[in-house]
C-alpha cells in the first residue's frame, strides 16, 4: 500500500484513541504536528480520547498542560490508568482502603472512588508513577503485602519517555515489592482489555471503527491487537523500526509521527 493510501485509510477512521507520552509530547515538549492533528480531529468531528498509562496527573492537570501548549480540550478528552484503577477497585471492593505510592492523579482518583488511605491494614497496596519513591515507602509496601494486602499496579510500563531520555515507570517500581514478597501485582492499565473497553465506550465507537495510536509495542500496540482495534505505531517515543522486529506481532500501520496524518 502506498503511503498516501495508508494515511487516507487511517484518516477514514471514526474513532481515535491516542496515547500521550511519546505521541503528543515528551515531558514538557510538544511534538511536531500535534496542534494541527488535534485541530483536524475537531474539524472532521472525529470521536477521540487521549488514553494514558501515566497515573501522575488528574484530568484537570492534563487539560491545563495541553492548554499551556495552546491546545484547548475538555477534561473528558482524557482518561488515565489512575482512573481505571480506582474504578476497578471500587467494583472489586466498594468503600475499601489502600496504601498508595503515587501522585495526585492516583490519590484523587482513589478518593473520588470512595477509597480511604490506610497505612496500617489496607485492602490494597496501589503503586503508580511517582518521583517520590523511597526505601521507606518500599519497606512499608512490602510489609503490608506480606500481611495480606493485595498488590495493584496502575500500569505495566517499565519506562516512560521524557525530554532527555527515559525514566523508570510503574512496573519498575512494583518489581522490588514483588521480589521481596513473592506476590505478583495485577496491572490495570494498557494492555489490560479493561482500559480498551472503557475507551471505546467513552468515544461511542466500535472496535472496527477505531484506531489506537501509540509509541509502545508492549502496551499500546498489543492493547489494540488484543482488542481487535487497528493500531498505529509512531516513532516519536520509545519505539524505533528496530524495536518492532523484537516482537512477535506487528502494528497495522507505522508512521514517523501524528504530523504525517495532517500533511
Which are the catalytic amino acids?
Answer: 19, 21
d(CA 152, CA 124): 7
Distances (CA, A) of 82 to 52, 55, 138: 9, 5, 20
Of 257, 187, 174, nearest to 222 (Cα)?
A: 187
Cβ-contact 100, 89 below 8 angstroms: no
User: Measured between alpha carbons, how far is residue 40 from residues 34, 80, 151 in Å?
Assistant: 10, 23, 41
Amino acid at each position: 500500500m502506498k503511503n498516501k493510501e495508508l494515511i487516507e485509510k487511517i484518516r477514514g477512521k471514526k474513532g481515535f484513541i491516542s496515547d500521550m507520552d511519546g505521541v503528543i509530547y515528551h515531558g514538557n515538549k510538544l511534538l511536531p504536528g500535534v496542534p494541527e492533528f488535534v485541530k483536524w480531529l475537531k474539524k472532521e468531528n472525529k470521536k477521540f480520547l487521549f488514553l494514558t498509562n501515566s497515573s501522575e496527573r488528574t484530568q484537570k492537570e492534563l487539560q491545563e498542560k495541553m492548554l499551556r501548549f495552546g491546545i484547548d480540550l475538555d477534561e473528558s478528552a482524557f482518561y488515565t490508568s489512575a482512573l481505571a484503577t480506582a474504578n476497578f477497585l471500587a467494583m472489586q471492593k466498594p468503600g475499601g482502603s489502600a496504601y498508595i505510592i503515587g501522585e495526585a492523579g492516583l490519590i484523587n482518583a482513589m478518593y473520588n472512588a470512595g477509597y480511604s488511605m490506610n497505612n496500617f491494614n489496607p485492602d490494597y497496596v496501589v503503586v503508580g508513577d511517582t518521583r517520590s519513591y523511597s526505601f521507606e515507602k518500599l519497606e512499608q509496601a512490602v510489609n503490608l503485602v506480606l500481611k495480606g494486602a493485595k498488590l495493584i499496579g496502575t500500569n505495566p510500563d517499565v519506562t516512560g519517555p521524557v525530554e532527555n531520555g527515559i525514566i523508570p515507570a510503574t512496573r519498575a517500581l512494583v518489581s522490588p515489592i514483588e521480589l521481596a514478597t513473592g506476590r505478583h501485582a495485577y496491572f490495570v492499565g494498557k494492555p489490560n482489555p479493561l482500559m480498551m473497553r472503557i475507551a471505546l465506550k467513552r468515544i461511542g465507537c466500535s472496535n472496527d471503527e477505531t484506531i489506537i495510536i501509540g509509541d509502545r509495542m508492549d502496551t499500546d500496540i498489543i492493547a489494540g491487537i488484543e482488542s481487535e482495534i487497528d493500531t498505529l505505531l509512531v516513532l516519536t517515543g520509545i519505539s524505533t523500526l528496530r524495536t518492532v522486529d523484537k516482537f512477535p506481532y506487528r502494528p497495522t500501520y507505522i508512521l514517523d509521527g501524528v504530523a504525517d496524518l495532517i500533511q
